[in-house]
Amino acid sequence: MKITDLTQEEKAIYVGLLTVEQKDLLVGQLFDEDSYFNPILDGNTPPNWIISIEEIEQNINPEFMWIKDLEMIIFVPAVNPNPFG
């Protein structure tokens, strides 16, 4: 599924799926004048590198327009173990 296939309601639960190589290209790069891409690992097994719909929709960096063609997947949050447990 692509971002253009999503309804407004679906955009609340979907994220863009990245390869490791794509993640490496985005780390440290701006998607607008003062916001950096922030790829994260999701809670799938094995985990996927992902970026938010907001990063995709708000990107104005011509070098990274390819993110608008990323596959969209449902966001699965990572579960962080309790450090005090």
Q: What predicted TM-score, i.e. pTM, was given to this entire model?
A: 0.91
Residue 80 lies in a domain: no
Structural domain count, the chain: 1
Residue 31 lies in a domain: yes
- What's the pLDDT at 81? 72
Domain that holds residue 27: 3-74
Spatial contact of 50 and 22, defined as CB atoms under 8 Å apart? no
Residue 81 lies in a domain: no
Rounded to an integer, the average pLDDT of 16-35 is 98
Q: What is the DSSP letter of 61?
A: -
Distance CA 3, CA 67 (A): 10
pLDDT digits 0-9 by tens, 5-20: 999 999 999 999 999 9
Residue 83 lies in a domain: no
